Amino acid sequence: MKTNISSSSAVPQAILRRYTQYLRLEKSFSPNTLDAYLRDLQKLLDYYELENIDFRQVTLAQLDQFVARLHDAGIAPKSIARMLAGVRSFYRFLLLEKEIESDPTELLASPNRGQYLPEVLSLEEIDRIEKVIDQSRDEGVRDHAIVELLYACGLRVSELCNLHFSDLFLEDGYIHVRGKGQKDRLVPIAASTIDELRRWFQTRQHITARPGEEDYVFISPHRGRHLSRITVFHNIKQYALMAGIQKEISPHTFRHSFATHLLERGANLRGVQALLGHESIATTEIYLHLDRQHLREEILTCHPRNRRTK
């Protein structure tokens, strides 16, 4: 995976290398997050070169102009806000390293992203997706276990793809998950999900894994290698189409559904935060909005004062 920034006259390469090490070692960013931060920083450096701007002397007005150009390019507010998080990170690093005396991003405003409510599946829709998976095929047995694990444990797709047999403590009812920033957590796993995994294990023992791939839980029957995120995304979308699901579905949809269904049934918000591996409670609170929306619909539908009289 690419984790470097192309040559730029705007910022010395020595500083860029130190910043990359800072993100990798001190911030413990995963390769995917590190790559995203460096890609976003590259856009800023390209702007500096185009406008002949000294990164140490950049003004708030010039940074606002950078944001305006992103808007003009049709980049969504959510993506711009993510890019600006990377810009702020870079300048905090420069301040820490005493490369600058003040942080020009301190008053830089992010665009209003609005209230984002992720797509959620009902239990009936999840059952429909599982039913269309052909379990007479090795891939089907595997994918049925994958869908069950994504929903039952709320895993990120990267966490699922990197799951190892050494992470499974099925006799104790837990799995070990290494999440974003290399942060570990233990997630309970239900008996029915354990049964799905063991069905896959019976199939998997007849598949030859490539050297170095033996400990991965989910591998390809044909290639003997662990699954990529793209493969899981593609398969989930295909199954959703086959099940007649009209919503925009991804592996992350099962994680959203996991959290929402727990909160709907009275789970503690802090407990759900721990299960999801969210660093901030604010990230988990989005599911409260979903829960309240569901509750409002239930009240409007079921409460006698809201029922229309014939």
Residues with a known catalytic role: 156, 180, 252, 255, 278, 287
Closest to 113 (Cα-Cα) out of 76, 156, 67: 76
Query: What are 13-17's contacts with CB under 8 Å, separation 24+?
Result: 15/94, 15/97, 15/99
Answer yes or no: are the C-beta atoms of 171 and 164 closer than 8 Å.
no
Answer yes or no: are the C-beta atoms of 62 and 53 closer than 8 Å.
yes
In the β-sheet with 174-178, what is the strand arrangement from edge to edge? 168-169, 174-178, 184-188
